Amino acid sequence: MTVLWKHYRYLKNNPELRAPMKTWEDYIAAMPVYHIPKSKVAATEPKLQNGDVIGIATKHDGGFCSHVGLIVRTNDGVARFMHASRNYRKVVIDKSISGYLNAFNSHAGMIVGRPLEVVETVTDPAVYKANLERLIS
């Protein structure tokens, strides 16, 4: 965000926020990031849950994700991608997450975040990685 600060109203209007934001960006950039490759997303769809936060992993440099949204499992059982669509200029419940990813060459895959109860919070990187392995296997 600090690279493109002119595009963010709060960073543009409050320059004192940029240095603390850069500190957080550096902290987050140093963390390991594991994404599910586009080729494996369809196989993980049955394991996705309503409300899972999906980051669209990009092939481009400069960030982990190019877009974010939520999983909404519709009555037909499909794990659909709900997001703010640039094309439709509104929030939409789109096609399946694998279908959405396959529609764009720039998408490398997805990052899944699942809100947990506070008592279930994972802080151990080994546990985090094991959970990810369970999701994609």
- Domains of the chain in sequence order: 1-31 (no CATH), 33-136 (2.30.260.10)
The whole-angstrom distance between residue 67's C-alpha and the CA centroid of its chain comes to 7
Question: What is the structure's pLDDT at 108?
Answer: 93
Quick one: pLDDT band at residue 62, thresholds 50, 70, 90?
low
Q: pTM to 2 decimals?
A: 0.71
- Which residue's structure tokens are 């699942």? 114
State the average pLDDT over residues 19-32: 86
Assess contact for 49 and 114: CB atoms under 8 A: yes
